[in-house]
Amino acid sequence: GSKFFQSGINMATFAADKAAKAATPAADNANAQAPAANVPKSDKPKVELYVFSYCPYGTQSEKGIIPAIKLLGSKIDFRIRQIGAMHGDHEKTEAQRQLCIEKQYPTKYLDYAQAFALDPLVSALFTKFGINKSTIDACMKSDGATLYSVEEANAQSKSIGGSPTLVINGVQSSAGRDSASYLAGICAAFNNAPAECSNYVRTCKEAE
């Protein structure tokens, strides 16, 4: 008699309620603008993924999109864009770290970002990918604040505050967060889609 339970769960409607909640936009993406229905086409699509570095929905999107990006390679212009920080100072620090890795080790950055999204153990990732900690620390000290401010101002100028927000050729896209959906969304933005787009479900599932 020492505990009082005030409410219960209606098991008859539990599954439907859970599905409805899952379909509701995540809190971290609450400020995102409604995605555009039509993304303009180009010969080399410009693809930007806006995230908070520690946002679970942002890291989910990175895990989904990076295999598609690696598949398309130089046929697109891709960047992960930092929005700012809403989860604490550690998020700002990681944003600056990733910007410095992108600057100092551009060929290793996507590998780092993908691995960080799976397990954010920075020291182990530095070792795994051969990233020199002293080089990154020096960059963060000299350029980190400036690189971060540029990214934050860019996101604000475009009224982007939701993580993740996918922008293709300057227009927000509604592509899903799995690799196949991301690839399909990007491939739709080509004037002439490359061969990598022809079997996007199979190739992206293999990449994952």
pLDDT tens digits for 84-118? 999 889 999 999 999 999 999 999 999 999 999 99
Q: Which of 139, 70, 74 is nearest to 110 (CA)?
A: 70
CA atoms within 13 A on the CB side of 10: 4
Alpha helices (runs of H) in the chain, residue ranges in sequence order: 14-23, 56-72, 89-104, 109-118, 122-129, 133-139, 145-157, 179-187, 200-207
Is 80 exceeded by the pLDDT of residue 205?
Answer: no
- Dump pLDDT digits (tens) for 153-180: 999 999 999 999 999 999 999 888 889 8
Cα 14 to the center of its chain, rounded Å:
31
Q: How many helices (H) and strands (E) does the chain have?
A: 9, 4
